[in-house]
Amino acid sequence: MAASLARLPTAAPSPRRSRRAGDRLWSVGLVAAGGAILLVAGLVILVLGRAAAPAFHALGVGRFLAGQDWDPVSGAFGALPFIYGTLVTSAVAILVALPVAVGLSLFLAEMGPPRLRPPVAFAIETLASIPSVIYGLWGLFVLVPWVRTTVEPLLGRLLGWLPLFTGPRIGLGYLSAGLILAVMILPTIAAVTQEVLRSIPPALKEGALALGATRWEMIRIAVLPTARAGILGATLLGLGRALGETMAVTMVIGNAPEIHASLFAAGYSLPAVIANEFAEATSPLHLSALAALALVLLGVTLVLNSAARVLVLLTSRRLGEAS
């Protein structure tokens, strides 16, 4: 503290008026910077709204959202195959990533030796910082062939009676896209889950152990129920990331605007179709329909993220009251 005080600048013997002008300028600058954020948000909505309006007008909001055809020749544009593809790949990603992330977090926080924590945490952080085009590269040359030659035949043999695991085994498709998203959102879910676990009051856990519970029973009885909402929030945050992911998905999903029950089939996602077609659409309606897809994507992401934040907030607030 003393050292910090010594660093204080000496007050300039300036006349009061210029000081006040300086203060005012400074605070105007800060407000402007803050206001710029509001401006940017307004701009995003305005730009997308204006670009998307012709498509919504020409096609009708309901018909656009529920339409299954994406036919630039006849000017029919439906968003459903892309919404479907986005949701299915995200669902696969969550189903795969959530158990792994929770298991990993529990092991690090409650079970494993504390020595293990820093290196694993570092590895997971590294996973989070890898650019998505590199995931796409890895997906295209490593994951897709593996899915085609190993995962799909295995799933087809074990669970082929389910419509989910039927059809030609190409490698590119919902399954590969879902798996690569799982790898990408794992760090997000794991990081938030660990934060939630850390915020659980130790008294709760010690109580369970004192009653003779094993470590797993303590986790089941004391930890998981308390952390449930927080983990759900972590999942939704991961989901938010999965929904907007573009490059890695467009490189492995197969880019086919169709709806298939089978996870082996090729599909399309909202960001992928925008990346592929936005610079290339030749009719104004086509371009506008792509902007409308962007608006749909924006809407879905915003709703999910708001929900996630509320959930995480509620958990920590409840825990705050408890402890």
Kindly identify the residues of this chain, within the stretch 123-152, that bind another protein according to CB under 8 A.
Answer: 123-127, 129-138, 140-142, 144-145, 148
d(CA 59, CA 55): 6
Positions 266 through 295 that interact with another protein (CB under 8 A): 266, 268, 271, 274-283, 286-287, 291, 294
With binding defined as CB under 8 A, does residue 254 bind another protein?
A: yes
Q: Which is nearer to another protein, 230 or 254 (CB)?
A: 254
With binding defined as CB under 8 A, does residue 238 bind another protein?
A: no
- Closest CB 127 distance from another protein, rounded Å: 5
Q: Which is nearer to another protein, 21 or 322 (CB)?
A: 21
- Beta bridge mates, 70: 77
Positions 182 through 211 that interact with another protein (CB under 8 A): 183, 186, 190
Q: Which residue in the set 53, 120, 204, 224 belongs to the binding site for another protein (CB under 8 A)?
A: 120
Q: Which is nearer to another protein, 19 or 228 (CB)?
A: 19
- Beta bridge mates, 71: 76
Q: Which span (55-63, 110-118, 157-165, 193-201) binds another protein, by CB under 8 A?
A: 110-118
With binding defined as CB under 8 A, does residue 103 bind another protein?
A: yes
With binding defined as CB under 8 A, does residue 26 bind another protein?
A: yes
With binding defined as CB under 8 A, does residue 112 bind another protein?
A: yes
Q: Which residues contact 240 (CB under 8 A, 6 or more apart)?
A: 301, 304, 305, 308
- Beta bridge mates, 77: 70
- Closest CB 112 distance from another protein, rounded Å: 7
With binding defined as CB under 8 A, does residue 108 bind another protein?
A: yes
d(CA 307, CA 79): 24
Tokens 């203060």 correspond to what residue?
23
Residue 257: C-alpha distances to residues 85, 121, 198 (Å): 9, 39, 43
Q: Which is nearer to another protein, 125 or 322 (CB)?
A: 125
* Residue 136 and residue 248 in contact, taking contact as beta carbons nearer than 8 Å: yes
Q: H-helix or E-strand containing 301?
A: helix 284-322
Positions 304 through 323 that interact with another protein (CB under 8 A): 305-306, 309
- Closest CB 159 distance from another protein, rounded Å: 19
Residue 89: C-alpha distances to residues 55, 245, 252 (Å): 26, 11, 11
Nearest to 270 by CA among 239, 284, 291: 291
Positions 30 through 59 that interact with another protein (CB under 8 A): 30-38, 40-41, 43-44, 47-48, 51
Nearest to 83 by CA among 96, 64, 98: 64
Q: Which is nearer to another protein, 102 or 231 (CB)?
A: 102
- Beta bridge mates, 76: 71
Q: Which is nearer to another protein, 66 or 322 (CB)?
A: 66
Q: Which is nearer to another protein, 205 or 286 (CB)?
A: 286
Separation of first and last alpha carbons in the chain: 31
Burial bucket for residue 120 (CB in 10 Å: 0-12, 13-18, 19+): middle
Positions 156 through 185 that interact with another protein (CB under 8 A): 168-172, 183
